[in-house]
Amino acid sequence: MYIDGEKKTGSIAAVGRNLSRRAQNFASDESGLITFFVLFLFVIMLAVGGIGIDVMRYERDRARLQYTMDRAVLAAADLDQSLEPEAVVREYLQKADLLQYLNSVTVTEGLGFRNVRATAESEFPTQFMHLTGVDTLSAPAASTAEESIGGVEISLVLDVSGSMNSNSRLSNLKVAAHDFVDQMVDNTEDGKLSISIIPYATQVSVTDNMMDEFNVSGENAHSNCINFQSNDFDSTSLNANASRPRTLHFDTFTSAGSSRSDGRPYGDLVKFPVCEADDRREILPLQKDRTTLKNFITALTARGNTSIDVGMKWGTALLDHSMNGVVTNLITDGDIPNDFALRPHRYSDGETLKVIVLMTDGQNTSQYYLRDQYRQGNSNIWWNAEEEKYSVYRPSTNRYYWPHDSSWQDHPYGNGTTTEWECTGTIYYGNCYYGSWVQETVEEPGTAERLAYPQLWEQTSLQYNLSRHYYPWMNDSDARDEWYYGVRSYVGSSTKDNRTQEICDAAKAQNVIVYTIGFEAPSRGLSVLKACASSDSHFYDVDGLEISDAFASIASSIRKLRLTQ
């Protein structure tokens, strides 16, 4: 037993020793490391591959969201889009089943432009990255699109003839035009909008600086108008270098019996000249400042005949690139903002919206001119400024008629001697006492100077000249034919209607958008305006306060326009 027991104990000890030795050998044996490393690499590769799959799936979903957003804002920013921009964005995302991710839509729009910005964000659940503690990935998307035209050029062609003083028309026009300016300025980016205001009556006056840019013939130191010829209405262009006659300062309207129908004794100009000497009625070219535009409108006054054709010609010219040289020089003069150095843009630039708003309360009436022989050179009228006396030379007899005493003399009054009755005693109530009347030769006071035709007409109306200088000694009919109808010529209303249609057609041929407003106008005027407008929907026939509605409608319509390229 002893021996057996000794054997069991040894066996157990031997086994223990054997196990210990095997454990030590296993721990020190390096032959199995490659299997562990491969297993480690496999786990790493599996993790990286899983992350890659998550990233690819994330990028797929993010790109889909971004692509849908891009398409949505592009459609929403389209100026031809009739739906609300935000509704367009939502519809695109809804159809792609992505609407739940939309965060915001911001729309900025105005005259000729629309900017749409949209943001969205989705949460992407990971399948492999969550093993690293990243359960979701954020997929933001933001898109901005803008569609705009390069600029907006507007000509406001406003009737300021005498009839605008009736029925509060001028006051109502001013309110409507003020609101129009506000709407245009409020809804247009700075520097994109230029507005020219062209007041017209019998003629259209321009500023001194603008007149200096044109090649004109004829003397007029007081006002600035150009006599257009028939072919000027065939085209929108206005070549400043082409020679054109300047409108002289003359008055064919004021009758001889009217107060100060002759302004010369008072140092005044004629009362109602065809071409106005009034800076409140001169063209205001290419402005953007709200205050400048509204102050000009406030100062408008009304008088004179109606020349829709001339107003429309100037309104069209200020949209035509042929005027760019004039505009450039007026910028140098400080009359036009620097922003408009390239304006008027060419019609072909494809980025500029050009608009005319033409308003009248009437119809074309006669426009008067001085015949060529009465535009320059010396007249037969002499003026003694010191004595305020005229003399009229009659070439056929080489004699001078003195209107102040209805006598004929051999010289103009003031340039010679005359015989006068003198009392050698005392004059009392026109009678000579304590003496007698005797004739004496005396030097005439003052000096008579011959007036050139421009000098004569600028202070003496045609009717005064006829009545006081020629009627007294000529047959009335002959005097009227020679010194009234023979001095002036005119273009009648029918011809002016045709000219209006020609310049309107020329503007529309260049894709200028023409709106017309008949403001309590007669039927003939309405017919001209309707034919001039770009379409029937661009023509307005309004009364009273409705003129504000017309201008508001036009402002709204302009905002929706996009120049077709």
Q: How far is CA 206 from the centre of its chain?
A: 15
State residue 46's pLDDT score.
62
The tokens describing 313, both together, are 């010609």
3-state DSSP assignment of residue 477? helix
pLDDT digits (tens, 9 = 90+) for 165-197: 999 999 999 999 999 999 999 988 888 999 999
State residue 414's pLDDT score.
96
Query: Could you tell me what percent of the chain has a pLDDT over 70?
Result: 88
pLDDT digits (tens, 9 = 90+) for 455-474: 999 999 999 999 999 999 99
Rounded alpha-carbon distances, angstroms, from residue 105 to 64, 84, 95, 142, 145: 18, 11, 17, 10, 12
Q: Which residue has the tokens 């051999």?
A: 410
**What would the 3-class secondary structure string for 234-253 be?**
HCCCCCCCCCEEECCCCCCC
Q: Hey, what's the torsion of the CAs at 87, 89, 92, 97, to 10 degrees? A: -100
- What average pLDDT does range 67-76 have in this prediction? 92
Q: How confident is the model at residue 349 (pLDDT cuts 50, 70, 90)?
A: confident
Cβ atoms of 81 and 562 within 8 Å: the answer is no
Least trusted range by pLDDT, from 412-426, 464-478, 540-554: 412-426
**What would the 3-class secondary structure string for 106-126 be?**
EEEEECCEEEEEEEEEEEEEC
Check residue 388 and give left, alpha or beta (phi > 0: left; psi -120 to 50: alpha). Answer: left
Residue 459's closest CA among 278, 264, 309, 247?
264
Question: Is residue 156 scored above 50 in pLDDT?
Answer: yes
Question: Is residue 8 scored above 70 in pLDDT?
Answer: no
State residue 252's pLDDT score.
95
State residue 266's pLDDT score.
92
State residue 147's pLDDT score.
78
Q: How confident is the model at residue 54 (pLDDT cuts 50, 70, 90)?
A: low
Give Cβ neighbours of residue 29 (< 8 Å, ≥ 6 apart): none
List, in sequence order, every beta strand (DSSP E) within 453-546: 488-491, 513-519, 539-542
Q: How far apart are CA 463 and CA 363, in angstroms?
A: 25
State residue 10's pLDDT score.
42
- What average pLDDT does range 344-371 have in this prediction? 95
> How many residues are recorded in the chain?
565
DSSP assignment of 46-59, as one string?
A: HHHHHHHHHHHHHH
Cβ atoms of 176 and 550 within 8 Å: the answer is yes
State residue 132's pLDDT score.
67
Q: How far apart are CA 380 and CA 400, in angstroms?
A: 9
From first CA to last CA, the distance across the chain in angstroms is: 119
Q: Which amino acid is at 268?
A: D
Cβ atoms of 347 and 510 within 8 Å: the answer is yes
Least trusted range by pLDDT, from 84-98, 148-162, 182-196, 549-563: 549-563
pLDDT digits (tens, 9 = 90+) for 482-522: 999 999 999 999 999 999 999 999 999 999 999 999 999 99
Cβ atoms of 530 and 539 within 8 Å: the answer is yes
- What average pLDDT does range 212-219 have in this prediction? 95
Question: Is residue 13 scored above 50 in pLDDT?
Answer: no
Cβ atoms of 93 and 101 within 8 Å: the answer is yes
Q: How confident is the model at residue 350 (pLDDT cuts 50, 70, 90)?
A: confident
Residue 316's closest CA among 563, 129, 507?
507
Q: How far apart are CA 554 and CA 359, in angstroms?
A: 12
Check residue 455 and give left, alpha or beta (phi > 0: left; psi -120 to 50: alpha). Answer: alpha
Look over the chain and give the mean of its residue pLDDT values, rounded to a whole number. Answer: 89
The tokens describing 450, both together, are 């011959």
Pairing of β 389-394 and β 378-384: antiparallel
Rounded alpha-carbon distances, angstroms, from residue 479 to 62, 214, 432: 93, 36, 40
Cβ atoms of 354 and 513 within 8 Å: the answer is yes
Least trusted range by pLDDT, from 192-201, 253-262, 337-346, 553-562: 553-562
Q: How far apart are CA 355 and CA 342, in angstroms?
A: 17
Residue 534's closest CA among 358, 412, 378?
358
Q: Which residue has the tokens 């001209």?
A: 528
State residue 135's pLDDT score.
72
Helix runs in 280-439, H state only: 290-298, 308-317, 324-332
Q: How confident is the model at residue 562 (pLDDT cuts 50, 70, 90)?
A: very low
Q: Hey, what's the torsion of the CAs at 372, 378, 384, 388, to 10 degrees? A: -10
Rounded alpha-carbon distances, angstroms, from residue 299 to 72, 519, 520: 48, 20, 22
Q: How confident is the model at residue 58 (pLDDT cuts 50, 70, 90)?
A: confident
Residue 509, judged by CB atoms within 10 A of its CB (0-12, 13-18, 19+), counts as exposed
Rg (CA), the chain: 45
Q: Which residue has the tokens 């009625």?
A: 281
The tokens describing 379, both together, are 């007249």
Question: Is residue 320 scored above 60 in pLDDT?
Answer: yes
Cβ atoms of 284 and 293 within 8 Å: the answer is yes
Give Cβ neighbours of residue 128 (< 8 Å, ≥ 6 apart): 47, 49, 50, 51, 53, 54
State residue 42's pLDDT score.
59
Cβ atoms of 392 and 470 within 8 Å: the answer is yes
State residue 387's pLDDT score.
95
pTM above 0.95, yes or no: no
Q: How far apart are CA 305 and CA 126, in angstroms?
A: 81
pLDDT digits (tens, 9 = 90+) for 371-418: 999 999 999 999 999 999 999 999 999 999 999 999 999 999 999 998
Per the DSSP assignment, residues forming a β-bridge with 489 are: 369
